[in-house]
Amino acid sequence: MSGFSQIMRRRAESLVELYPERRSALIPLCHLAQEEAGYLSEDMMRDIADLVGVTPAEVYGTASFYDMLHTEPVGKYLVGVCTNIACLLQGGGELLEHAEEKLGVSPGGTTHDGVFTLEEVECVAHCDKAPAVQVNYRFFGPLTDETFDELIDDLSVGKYEGDVPSHGTLIRVHREVGIEVPMEEIVAQRRESDAAIASRKAALEAAKESK
């Protein structure tokens, strides 16, 4: 195992720069580490410590507080079944039991092939679609035993490769701007946006009429 790759290290450094104090980047960097290594390996924790100016023990001590941060390897897909009150009332508890059977593991366990880790999760704020399931923090619901099986089967054959990326929650989050955006860019964006606004207005009107 090793720490951050060159590319990821640059992303990490740019995140550190966003904060008045380096330590604030600790949790975002943990997400980057999980995106790259799947979990917080010791090497990753050393790298993070180095980047934010604390000891690796402090990184571990902080990370162990948070549900999303894993200091042991987890599966490619984190399957979280919500059993909190709104989901419970719609069968979330029974869905979790079914998920245990389908995957052959208890909550916290990982399938032998290393593809799925099952978790019992707290409310994921998807309550109007209860019972809800999250896979690498992408939400699905309401699910039945049958549609849960379908979801797992589809994930197994790679059908969701595009929709459910690795469980680094920042994998598609990219800050593209510094505090000073050049004035030319701002002027260009305004010019573009004038045209774009006009076309969006027309599109929204058309959508309203067709309703």
Q: How far is the CB of 126 from other proteins (least distance, A)?
A: 6
Site for other proteins (CB under 8 A): which residue of 14, 61, 101, 153? 61
Binding residue (CB under 8 A) for other proteins from 103, 126, 141, 155: 126
Instruction: Please pick, from the candidates 128, 146, 161, 209, the single residue that binds other proteins as defined by CB under 8 A.
Output: 128
Q: Are 137 and 167 in contact (CB under 8 A)?
A: yes
Question: Considering the rule CB under 8 A, would residue 211 count as an interface residue with other proteins?
Answer: no
> Measured from the CB atom, is 145 or 149 closer to other proteins?
145
Whether residue 52 contacts residue 18, with contact meaning beta carbons closer than 8 Å, is answered with no
- Interaction pattern, residues 103-122, with other proteins; x per rule: CB under 8 A: -------------------x
Q: Does 28 bind other proteins (CB under 8 A)?
A: yes
| CA torsion, ordered 12, 179, 184, 201, to nearest 10 deg | 90
Q: Please choose, out of 5-13, 143-151, 152-160, 191-199, the segment that lies near other proteins by the rule CB under 8 A.
A: 191-199
Binding status of residue 152 toward other proteins by CB under 8 A:
no
Nearest approach, Cβ of residue 112 and other proteins (Å): 26
DSSP string, the chain: -----HHHHHHHHHHHTTSSSGGGGHHHHHHHHHHHHSS--HHHHHHHHHHHTS-HHHHHHHHTT-TT--SS---SEEEEEE-SHHHHTTTHHHHHHHHHHHHT--TT-B-TTS-EEEEEE---S-GGG-S-EEETTEEE-S--HHHHHHHHHHHHTTTTTTTS--S-TTTT------S---HHHHHHHHHHHHHHHHHHHHHHHHHHHH-
186 binds other proteins (CB under 8 A): yes
State the binding string over 4-23 for other proteins (x if CB under 8 A, else -): --------------xxxx-x
Cβ contact 44:33 at 8 Å: yes
Applying CB under 8 A, which residues contact other proteins? Answer: 18-21, 23-28, 30-31, 52, 54, 61-63, 65-69, 83-86, 88-90, 93, 122-128, 130, 134, 136-138, 169-177, 179-181, 185-186, 189-190, 193, 196-201, 203-204, 207
